[in-house]
């Protein structure tokens, strides 16, 4: 591949992890206001998982995996997609998409603390500064009376935090688990199995299913974009970038996604952006910077993406 084509691919891939992933908050918000949350997430990940495995087969990639790998992808699918993503989609019924993106931007802080608790990893001085900034930023974010006065908003925020813990523990799990070596196959199975568990969750919660032909055009477009761009293209771009550029550059999506989500939520959904939210965003992202810079760990919040 020529250098110019390679550079063009890199630019496109960064656009995907910046803008497409940042837009998934708004797309999920649009869809969940009409569709049941677990049904929405199930349709998205089942469709994406099947498509990814079909693409792998067509490309000549072997999709056979061991029973151990199947079990581990099921655990990862539950932690990342069934619980983390599914419950975040549910929480978006009560929390603005931009607000959710800001709260989730503190994910590196949660992973850092879980590494300390479960693995005994020492927190470096620079990371301690990041933790302090993160705690202050979260407090400023959730202490806004004008935003948390709405019904079930506090519950939504607490459930998003539970999702961050699930994602963080999942990150520690997959780092040591026996998973398919091909990331495309690994992702396909995680989405397929996570989607099946979301399907079961939808049934257990007695959600009412409907045919796509009865959905509004906005919801139909949102789901198609989530499946093709948010689930397949953006994640493939993420893995591609990890191979061709430094992890620190890929990690910049951690800072850009909340800004994209806030802007789109404000412009298209008339979501409120307060001065305090802006300050909270600056402080939170500063904390994420300190955590990522010192430890050289790429920690992403993909569970709503």
Q: Who contacts 200 (Cβ-Cβ below 8 Å, separation ≥6)? A: none
Q: Does residue 302 lie within any of the structural domains?
A: no
pLDDT at 152: 79
Residue 296 is encoded by which pair of tokens? 């050289």
Kindly state the greatest CA–CA separation across the chain: 55
* Domain-embedded: residue 301: no
Contact status, residue 124 vs residue 294, Cβ threshold 8 Å:
yes
Q: What is the mean pLDDT of each run of 10 residues along the chain (305 residues)?
A: 74 91 95 97 96 95 96 95 95 91 86 88 85 89 72 87 91 88 89 97 96 96 96 85 74 82 93 88 88 56 58
Task: Look at residue 268 in the predicted model and tell me its pLDDT.
Answer: 94
Q: Is residue 144 part of a domain?
A: yes
pLDDT tens string 93-125: 999 999 899 888 888 888 888 988 988 888 888
Query: In whole angstroms, what is the distance from residue 254 CA to residue 268 CA?
Result: 22
Residues 235 and 231: their CA atoms lie apart, in Å, by: 6
Between the CA of residue 125 and those of 165, 169, 183, 294, what are the distances in Å?
23, 23, 34, 9
For residue 109, CA distances in Å to 105, 147, 158, 291 come to: 9, 23, 16, 7
**Residue 149: its pLDDT value, please?**
60
Query: Residue 137's CB: how many other CB atoms inside 10 A?
Result: 25
Mean pLDDT of the chain: 88
- Specify if 185 maps to a domain: yes
Answer whether 17's CB lies under 8 Å from 241's CB. Answer: yes
- Asked whether residue 305 is assigned to any structural domain, the reply reads no
* Residue-wise DSSP of 124-191: PHHHHHHHHHHHHHHHHHHT-HHHH-STTHHHHHHHHHHHHHHHHHHHHHHHHS---SSHHHHHHHHH
- Within a domain: residue 277? yes
Task: Write out pLDDT tens, residues 62-101.
Answer: 999 999 999 999 999 999 999 999 999 999 999 999 989 9
Residue 29 lies in a domain: yes
- pLDDT attached to residue 301: 54
Domain extent for 31: 3-295
pLDDT of residue 3: 65
Q: Is 300 part of any domain?
A: no
CB 188 within 8 A of CB 63: yes
> What is the separation, in whole angstroms, between the first and last Cα of the chain?
29
Number of domains in the chain: 1
Chain center to CA of 3: 31
Tokens 């056979």, located at residue: 64
């Amino acid at each position: 591949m020529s250098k110019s084509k390679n550079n063009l691919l890199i630019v496109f891939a960064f656009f995907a992890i910046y803008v497409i992933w940042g837009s998934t908050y708004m797309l999920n918000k649009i869809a969940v206001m009409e569709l049941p949350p677990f049904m929405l997430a199930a349709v998205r990940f089942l469709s994406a998982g099947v498509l990814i495995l079909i693409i792998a087969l067509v490309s000549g990639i072997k999709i056979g995996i061991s029973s151990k790998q199947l079990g581990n992808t099921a655990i990862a699918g539950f932690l990342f997609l069934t619980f983390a993503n599914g419950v975040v989609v549910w929480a978006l019924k009560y929390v603005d998409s931009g607000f959710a993106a800001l709260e989730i931007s503190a994910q590196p802080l949660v992973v850092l603390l879980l590494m300390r608790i479960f693995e005994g990893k020492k927190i470096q001085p620079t990371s301690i500064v990041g933790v302090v900034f993160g705690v202050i930023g979260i407090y400023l974010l959730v202490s806004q009376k004008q935003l948390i006065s709405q019904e079930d908003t506090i519950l939504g925020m607490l459930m998003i935090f539970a999702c961050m813990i699930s994602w963080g523990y999942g990150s520690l799990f997959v780092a040591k688990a026996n998973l398919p070596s091909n990331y495309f196959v690994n992702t396909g199975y995680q989405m397929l199995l996570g989607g099946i568990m979301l399907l079961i969750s939808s049934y257990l919660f007695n959600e009412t299913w409907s045919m796509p032909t009865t959905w509004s055009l906005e919801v139909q477009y949102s789901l198609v974009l989530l499946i093709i761009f948010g689930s397949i293209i953006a994640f493939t771009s993420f893995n591609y970038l990890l191979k061709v550029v430094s992890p620190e550059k890929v990690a910049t999506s951690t800072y850009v996604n909340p800004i994209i989500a806030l802007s789109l939520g404000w412009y298209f959904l008339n979501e409120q952006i307060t001065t305090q939210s802006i300050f909270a965003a600056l402080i939170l992202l500063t904390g994420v910077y300190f955590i990522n810079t010192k430890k050289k760990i790429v920690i992403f919040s993909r569970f709503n993406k």
